[in-house]
Chain A
Amino acid sequence: MPSLGADMDAGILVEWLVKPGDRVKRGDIVAVVETQKGAIDVEIFDDGYVQELIVPVGVKAPVDSILAVIGESPAKAAKVAVSAVPTRGLSVAAPQAPAATAPAAGAAPAPEAAPVEAGAAPEAAPVGAPRPGAADATPVEAAPVEVPRPGAAASGATSVEVPRPGAAAPDATSVEAVPVAAPKAGPVEAPRPGAAAAEAAPVEVAPVAVVHPLSHRLGATLASPRARHLGRRYGLELASIAGTGPHGSITGDDVERARGSALGDAAPKQAARRRGPSAEAQAAMRRAIAAAMARSKREIPHYYLSHTLDFTAALTWLGASNKERSVKERLLPVILPVKAVARALCKFPELNGTYEEAEGFIPSPSIHLGFAVAMRGGGLVAPALHDADKRGLGELMVALRDLVGRVRGGGLRSSELGDPTITVTSLGDRGVDAVQGVIYPRQVAIVGVGTPRLRPWVVDGAVVPRTLVDITLAADHRVSDGHRGALFLAAVDRLLQDPEAL
């Protein structure tokens, strides 16, 4: 179960999109989980074959628990993997893990407790677990369906995750920090005493009260992720739709068509079913935001900077550029500050990364820019625009538009929620002048973009009307200081004066 933010402690598995024996490759969407942030598509980060689905549909699984096992071969090896690796025990599987970690497993042999991620380590062996003929058992790569954090992905060898017991308990945070520490080859930290109790408790296997309306469908129906997503959204049975895609698979367009013909008589019912998040889901999101923001204000010493900049050159360029662009490629003003922030960050690594209790600040080699999107029913999420500094304006705009569309219409992916390295919050075109952001933990900075407005400004000694924007920075004073923060905002301003070069 991937962590989709510091505030998430568990998710309900609502749908498997693969079955044992299926071949999967990195980036495939294999499952859908219901979280406080809505239904999220879970991507896989390894190539291989699905060997076992561990968490059944309808079950709530804690963050970092194993959802499924994939291996290098489809079926036979699966048995070896399953018998040699007791995935259900609290086994701390680590590459060449020293015996020192054994107590962790011995102390809390919880039957359903979340196991530790074996990750990409080929020699992954359960510590403290019986190793029946481990010597001759072919080392099977038992990489769970798990979304490694950025740091873990880079290091590969040491992706060891210790189960996280509670929600945002400080203990859990420091334990969770382990996988991000890149080349830490030493023994894995055993769970703290405080956490042990929680870990020993069996995982909540309470069936969800409301059966997901679609969990019963989908046997071997071939359908694209978009088709599945749309089917879910429209409440249509995919099995009843004729597919026109490869091998007769159902495409998104097929679903749209099926819906079009279904709408004639069922319009009111459809509309009712497509209503936004339930009151329950909204309450859960509210709690998640409350936990994250309270933690932020409790732990992060914010400092705040604000800067008014002349947005006229940027808007003039944008207007001219949009004349050449079809609707689909059209740019919104917000994309310019987004790109400028990403570009400026290259020279201010102390604003881009995460702050871990154990290690302190860990700069991120990539710039994954979280973009805060308000949900219409209340609440917000800030999914990531990956590698925002490296993408052209047009490409970035398409990505942003798609992201916002999916936040509001459904279909967010796990990797987008888990790994932003900084957040930008924009008030849009109907907001107010400025926003002083609250940093999303474990990030260390948030940039606010106010609503562009025509205001008096002095140019060459004369007061003239100009479109101005207030940009703000809230940053973690444990990591950076106001002087550097100011230089950063000045750099953003400079970049926005030459929009063509963005």
Chain B
Amino acid sequence: MNEENEENEENEENAENAENEENAESIAAVVIDALIEVAPELERAEIEPGIDLRQELDIDSMDFLNFLIRLHERFAIEIPEEDYPRLATVDGCVAYIRSKRQC
């Protein structure tokens, strides 16, 4: 009985992890799409998850604002100015969006 329960819990946990990973991946895909809409010259391959969008991909303040507006629309989240530093990379964006959606 106990063993069974444990097994179930474990399964649930695994399922949750998988779901989270999948979720992160799909969020990243939407983030990258938004970025490419703002900067169509970018190659998908050059947008590495940890790369600094503004410094290394030459996204200026106007592009960045247009990018944030897309994130705002697609994920229905509000992004105050003081949070901008957390959105410096694709990874950062994904983490930020997930934290906003959980609360």
Contact = CB atoms under 8 A, between A and B. Distances in A.
Contacts of A376: 39, 41, 58
Contact of A408 (B33, B40, B43, B72): B40
Given A271-B36, A276-B40, A328-B72, A319 B81 contact: yes
B65 to A, nearest CB: 6
B27 to A, nearest CB: 14
B41 A330 contact: no
B44 A404 contact: no
Nearest to A410: B40
A405 B38 contact: yes
Given A323-B80, A326-B72, A428 B60 contact: yes
A400 B60 CA distance: 14
Chain B: number of interface residues, binned into ranges: 20 to 34
B69 to A, nearest CB: 5
Given A268-B44, A271-B44, A326-B78, A332 B65 contact: yes
A331 B43 CA distance: 29
A377 interface: yes
A377 B39 CA distance: 10
A429 B61 contact: yes
A409 interface: yes
Nearest to A330: B65
B79 interface: yes
B82 to A, nearest CB: 9
B94 to A, nearest CB: 18
A319 B54 CA distance: 20
Contact of B41 (A275, A319, A405): A275
A400 B62 CA distance: 9
Interface string B23-42: 00000000001001111110
Nearest to B73: A328
A309 to B, nearest CB: 20
Contacts of B41: 275-276, 376-377
Interface string A310-340: 0000000001001100111010101000000
Contact of A409 (B33, B38, B58): B38
Nearest to A430: B60
Interface string B74-99: 00001111000000000000000000
Contacts of B72: 326-328
The main secondary structure of chain A at its interface with chain B is helix
A275 B41 CA distance: 5
Interface string A72-93: 0000000000000000000000
Interface in A390-410: 400-401, 404-405, 408-410
Nearest to A407: B62
B43 A271 contact: yes
Given A323-B80, A326-B72, A332 B61 contact: yes
Given A328-B69, A376-B41, A274 B60 contact: no
Given A267-B44, A376-B41, A404 B62 contact: yes
Nearest to B58: A376
Contact of B65 (A274, A276, A327): A327
A376 B68 CA distance: 19
Contacts of B60: 428-430
Given A428-B61, A429-B61, A274 B40 contact: yes
A233 interface: yes
Contacts of A405: 38, 62, 66
B86 to A, nearest CB: 14
B81 A332 contact: no
Interface string A103-125: 00000000000000000000000
Interface in A243-290: 263, 267-268, 271, 274-276
B25 to A, nearest CB: 13
B11 to A, nearest CB: 29
Nearest to A274: B40
Interface in A422-439: 428-430
Contacts of A327: 65, 68-69, 72, 78-79
Nearest to A409: B40
A35 B36 CA distance: 23
B38 A408 contact: yes
Contacts of A330: 65, 81
Contacts of A322: 81
A38 to B, nearest CB: 11
Contacts of A332: 61-62, 65
A402 to B, nearest CB: 9
A73 to B, nearest CB: 42
A233 B39 CA distance: 12
Nearest to B61: A429
A330 B71 CA distance: 14
Can you list the 6 inter-chain pairs with the closest CB atoms, starting with the nearest?
A: A276-B41, A327-B72, A404-B62, A271-B44, A429-B61, A274-B40
18 contacts: A233-B40, A275-B40, A275-B41, A327-B69, A327-B78, A332-B62, A332-B65, A400-B62, A401-B62, A401-B65, A401-B66, A404-B62, A404-B63, A408-B39, A408-B40, A410-B40, A429-B61, A430-B54
Given A327-B68, A430-B54, 13 more contacts: A263-B33, A274-B36, A275-B40, A275-B43, A319-B81, A327-B78, A330-B65, A332-B65, A334-B61, A405-B38, A408-B38, A408-B40, A408-B63
Interface of A: 233, 263, 267-268, 271, 274-276, 319, 322-323, 326-328, 330, 332, 334, 376-377, 400-401, 404-405, 408-410, 428-430
